[in-house]
Amino acid sequence: MKVLQFNSSEDVCYSNIKTKLTDLVDSIKLRYRINVSYDIRFKCHGGSLIDNKGIAYDEAMEKGEYLCTDHKEMHSSKQIYRFWLKEEEVEEELNMFRRPLVDVTIMEGLDTTLEFETEEENVPVQWFYNRKEIIESNERRQISRLQGRVHTLTILQTRLEDSGKYSIKIKGYDKIVKLNVKGIVCKS
């Protein structure tokens, strides 16, 4: 699904659409017990609607600029998302983390630690693997919170099948990172 905005007026913001769509997808997932995945992406107003992948939500929040594939030039991320996100929402999300969750590449068989630190103490966090919630710790995946701010997911003896997208949901915001597990090559 694409949500398009044709008005280029600077004083218009459609932030409620993002919230409504996210809530709708969450309710569909609960009601029908299905897994629905989606990416929130932005593109410049003059770019193609067909092949332009734009910039991912997380990337737009972290970077000040992105390379537009249509125009072959840099655009300000703020100019892209300003119609869809209120400035205070962006600031709140950016100020939520002392240390953000980051992508990890690791060798098979080693323990993996995905960790981030929040500004606020004791914030409820949900962990997900490929959009499926990790409900509780088990013999290989351990979820912990240290000193109320440091949230950790440890995967013991990481396997190739542990590769994928891991994400957290915190105060309505999603942050997705990739775990890339490299196999051990045996030469004979």
pLDDT along the chain (188 residues), means of 10: 53 65 80 78 74 75 78 78 66 72 91 90 88 83 86 93 90 83 79
pLDDT value at residue 105 = 93
Which domains are delineated in the chain? 15-94 (no CATH), 97-182 (2.60.40.10)
Strand-strand pairing, 150-155 and 112-118: antiparallel
pLDDT value at residue 180 = 92
Q: Which two tokens stand for residue 111?
A: 């323990």
pLDDT value at residue 65 = 81
pLDDT value at residue 99 = 82
